[in-house]
Structure 1
Amino acid sequence: MKRQLLAFLLAAHACANAAPVVEVAGIRDPELKAYRTMVKGLDAFEQERAHAPQGVLRFLLRPGAGESLEGLTLKISGDKVTVPVELAADGGFVLPRSAAALEDRAELVLNKKRNSFRWRPEVRSPGVPAGARRLGDLRLQCAVQWAIDREALTPQARGALDASGGPCHSPLAHTGFEAPQPLRAAWLREGSRREALPVNRQRNRTFTPPLADGGWGDDAVVEFDYSTIN
């Protein structure tokens, strides 16, 4: 029964990962991710920084069907505070800290319609090849995502997940990550040790690394074998 409950809560966590950041330009909506909620991700990044001491945290915006990054703008907007946020060509941005925006209960606002863009955090350490991911980066990225997403769950759901260790630290949790391209296989390598990772066959960009397995160090690297069929 406990495993079934955990599976249900983890499914709720996965759904929360798809939450939009923003709303129509100039319109405030309390259902959106508030700036104070996103800042919890920044706090988690600092608290668990040991997994990736040189890692850089960005958030990535991904367009939905019929949308593109062209002409996209992002700002932190409150009643008294407006902070423009620079977007990179790939839709990435670094979220700045602003005490004034926290006090003003500001939100993240795009100049696009609601539900048209999705977001996710990304942690990258220098020196990791473009076609690979460092395990410590993924552990830290999970911590950032969970710190933000847990706010959307009920206190009971948060308590149950926290008691199990959370999606990033529980051996019962299976947290998936998205590869740059469709995968044929994914491997985890550390020194001479190399093991295959589960790849979701329905969503074949998604691989599942062993975040909670202390037998793998933070410097272990996930390597991708890309599919020839997109």
Structure 2
Amino acid sequence: MTLTHRIPTGRRATAKPSRPLGRVRRGLAVGAAVAALALAATCAIAPAAPPSAAEQLNAYIAHHGQTLTVSDRGMLSVTRDAYSTTAGVQTLSANGTNYDWAKVVLMSGGWPTTDDNVTVLVRWMRQENGPDNWWNRNNPMNNGYGSGGGGGTGSYANLVIAAQKAAENLQRNPSFSAIVTALATAAPTSITEQAIWASPWASSHYGNGSRWHYTPVPVVTAPSSAW
């Protein structure tokens, strides 16, 4: 028996063609180019670095620039803040009045040199020695502490020392604490004076105020030798 294999007509078996190598390389090159373009586009849209402080300042000055035009016929007025000074012991000693001595007492005690405090002290000095000779024995308040006279009859080498000793005596003796408090708080004259009358500074207590004088105390200058 003879077997015969017949191939159907109209159909031909063909092999699948392979892609040429050159076309593959060209495809890879195109893909790389597209990726590079995408990366470049991404970098192009990235936000720019913020301006530096100097650049911002220059931009502000350029935008808010101002000019000042001054007429050659006018004057430019400049106003300065006011200032004040406080006289020291040396300046007060050079002036040499009873009011200056009262301020030295206050400065020695660390108390404010207000008008009320100064007024109380010059009135007190007048009660002790009178205004015309307030520097008597260089002891305007007849202070016994450190003057060599227990009853206030002693004297000091100069008025600066006398002021220091007056402040020290007021601060060291608890009996004078109400006076110190009044001076430290710059209390009204009436409050400080009542504290003086109630204290043992004067045995008479100034008649509890009945012998206290309120007329203005004249300004009197002591001899320079007293300072």
TMscore range, shorter length: under 0.3
TM-score using structure 1 length: 0.22
- Return the structure number with greater helix share: 2
TM-score using structure 2 length: 0.22
- Return the structure number with greater strand share: 1
